[in-house]
Structure 1
Amino acid sequence: MKIQLLSSAMAAMVILGTGCVSNKKFAQLQTSYSDLQNQNRELDGKYQAAQRDLTGANTRVKSLEEQIASQRTGLAALQAALDKCLNSTSQGNVNISKLVDEINASNKYIQHLVNTKNKSDSLNMVLTNNLTRSLSREELRDVDVQVLKGVVYISLSDNMLYKSGSYEISPAAGETLSKIAKIIKDYRDYDVLIEGNTDNVPISQKNIRNNWDLSALRASSVVQSLQNEYGVDPKRLTAGGRGEYNPVASNDSDAGKTKNRRTQIIITPKLDQFMELIEKAPDTDSTSAVK
């Protein structure tokens, strides 16, 4: 199907090239079209990789929360067993010292997980507060900052970032992007996903096939601006487009469409931090001492 569409598109370009423009202009359009196809494929690949990484991070967060709940349950069981042993005539058959050691180990690990989660939450709040304090009242009308499930979301309206139907960064957006870039550079242990979103109105621009293209190109423009103009390490950056398929409001009204036309900067902890937490789990059997 995709090959048929490309063939139809090329046929249309041949007709336009022979009927409306010069051979040189037609060749330029062909080259531009091929470049955009290659960029779109590359952006789609990076976006899919980022989505997999983000899904993995969410899975690991859920795993940590389950471990905390499991450790608390085990701790309660150990405490109950210890109380039973202390009040039972058969307490001499139980290794109370081992029970105490296991309870202490469980307490220590639970506290470690709680402290780590609190530290992450605190860093996210500091990041959010630093960013919102740096933005002017006018900028805050076009910038929304939220922390959801341990991830910082910075949502930028397209009215502030781009010209209508374009993926080129507006000069007016430079000051706002510079403030966001400073925050990103200050928090070096975080990865950054730039995600473009549109409303459901079809795009009608040369060399932009649909809203998928537009959203991906807009995300790429922000990534390149952060890298080239504000010095953000490109290894931390990923660009992706979600087209019209991730709305936050109904597209049945102009207000809803305005909310859906946005670019999100998603700041997440690196995955190796979660792996390090999991590897620190104590290797003990919480029921081995209960007879």
Structure 2
Amino acid sequence: MKIKYLLLASVLFMMLHSCKVLSPKQYKALVASRDSLQSRTSHLEEELARLQADTARLHHELTELQQNFNALNKNYNASSTQVNQLSGDLKKREARLREVEDILRKRDEAANALRDKLQKALLGFQQSGLTVDIRNGKVYVSLTDKLLFPSGSIVIDEKGKQALKQLAEVMNKEADINMSVEGHTDNQRVVNLGQIKDNWDLSVLRATSVTRYLTEVEKVAPQRLTATGKGEFQPVDPANTPEARAKNRRIEIVLTPKLDELYNLINNK
């Protein structure tokens, strides 16, 4: 509106200043010029209003963008810190994983080497019910009861002593191997065995007999041995047949390489 009034005042000033009497034609031309100026002024005012509105909107959008940028930058910095921390943790875990894998590889290599030695030393007894295999990094020497004991007895017979003697010769050269002697029975109830009341007794006493023979006769260090009785509760064949029961009546000597490195690694995690 100010522009419109200024233009009108300018036109009046020019008319008064000229001190001339205008002809009708000149007057119409002057009025037309004034109307044209007013129209152009209105357009300029409308454009000015639009520009002011656009400017305010752009200021608002710019403020929001700046706020979003600041938030994103803050999140990026936090994420970058977290990524660096996770990367460091990952490197530590990878190093630990390699260390554990290396120790377990050594364990498996030791178990395989021990199995091979025992299979070679006990080759002559494998037709009589002796097996050597590896489970979970441990070597299992399984001897059926008929290889070691007369039926229902806890006294080792001569054939059983020969098998244990061959086993002891290998084990006395492997000082880093611990042994657990496990007695196992079938699920048939024990009858008429005097002091032996049940399968628990039978499994424990047979394991103890083997342990005594290895330590007292074959001079295996007693600190390396543990005797346990498992009774009928860890069968290798759950079928209720004579063949399955014969498999379940056994002595298992579990040979475990000492893993001090692994235990230390676990305890110091």
Alpha-carbon deviation of 1:220? 0.3
What residue number does 2:233 align with?
A: 245
Aligned match of 2:164: 177
Residue 126 of structure 1 aligns with an amino acid whose one-letter code is: A
Assess, with a 3 A threshold, how the Cα gap between structure 1 residues 168 and 106 changes in structure 2: closer, same or farther. Answer: same
Moved more, 261-270 or 133-142: 133-142
Say yes or no: does 1:255 pair with 2:232.
no
Q: CA deviation at 1:96?
A: 9.5
Answer yes or no: is 1:189 the counterpart of 2:176. Answer: yes
Aligned Cα root-mean-square deviation (Å): 2.7
Instruction: State the AA in 1 paired with 2:244.
Output: G
Aligned AA (1:238): T
1:230 correspondence with 2:218: yes
- Rg larger for: 2
How far, CA to CA, are the matches of 1:199 and 1:267 in structure 2?
23
- The residue that corresponds to 2:150 in the other structure is 163
1:242 is paired with a residue whose SS is strand
Confirm or deny: 8 A CA contact 1:249 1:259 kept in the other structure.
Answer: yes
Contact 1:165 1:203 in 2 (8 A): no
Equivalent residue number for residue 113 of structure 1: 100
Q: Partners of 2:119 and 2:181 in 1: how far apart?
A: 19
1:97 and 1:257, CA in 2 relative to 1: closer, same or farther beyond 3 A? closer
Q: Distance in 2 between matches of 1:265 and 1:125?
A: 16
Q: Is the 8 A contact 2:107 2:137 kept in 1?
A: yes
Cα contact 1:203–1:211 (8 A) shared by 2: no
Gaps of 5+ in 2: 1-75
Gap change, CA 1:228 and 1:97, over 3 Å in 2:
same
Instruction: Name 1:211's counterpart in structure 2.
Output: 199
For 1:186, what is the secondary structure of its paired residue? coil
Q: What is the aligned partner in structure 1 of residue 111 from structure 2? A: 124
Q: Name the residue aligned to 1:145.
A: 132
1:116-151 per-residue CA deviation (whole Å, 9 max, x = no partner) reads 010001000101011001123443541111211122
Instruction: Give, in whole Å, the separation in 2 of the partners of 1:138 and 1:187.
Output: 21
Q: Which has the higher contact order (CA 8 A, sep 6+)?
A: 1
State whether residues 199 and 251 of structure 1, in contact with CA within 8 Å, keep that contact through their aligned partners in structure 2: no
Whole-Å Cα distance in 2 between the matches of residues 249 and 211 of structure 1? 17
How many Å separate the matches in 2 of 1:199 and 1:96? Answer: 58
Following the alignment from structure 1 to structure 2, what is the Cα–Cα distance between the partners of residues 129 and 267? Answer: 13
Seen in structure 2, the aligned counterparts of structure 1 residues 106 and 257 have a Cα distance that, compared at 3 Å, is closer
**TM-score under structure 1 length normalisation:** 0.59
Quick check: 1:200–1:251 contact (8 Å CA) kept in 2? no
Aligned counterparts of 1:102 and 1:199: Cα–Cα separation in 2? 51
Q: Quote the residue 1:286 is aligned against.
A: none
Q: Is residue 139–residue 176 contact of structure 1 (8 Å, CA) maintained in 2?
A: no
Query: Shift of residue 280 of structure 1?
Result: 4.8
Matched residue count: 193
Which residue does 1:35 correspond to in 2?
Answer: none
Percent sequence identity is 32
| Shift of residue 259, structure 1, vs aligned partner | 0.3
User: Structure 2: which amino acid aligns with 1:212?
Assistant: W
- The answer to which of 167-176 and 115-124 deviates more is 167-176
Q: Does structure 2 retain, via aligned residues, the 8 Å contact 1:132–1:140?
A: no
Counterpart of 2:256 in structure 1 is: 268
Deviation at residue 278 of structure 1 after TM alignment: 1.8
- 1:285 equivalent in structure 2: none
Question: CA 1:149 to 1:240, structure 2 compared with 1: closer, same or farther past 3 Å?
Answer: same
Contact 2:125 2:163 survives alignment (8 Å): no
**Structure 1, gaps ≥5 residues long:** 1-88, 282-291
Normalising to structure 2: TM-score of the pair? 0.63
2:95 aligns to what SS in structure 1?
helix
Distance 1:140 1:188, change over 3 A: farther
Matches of 2:217 and 2:231, distance apart in 1: 26
Contact 2:236–2:247 (8 Å) recurs in 1: yes
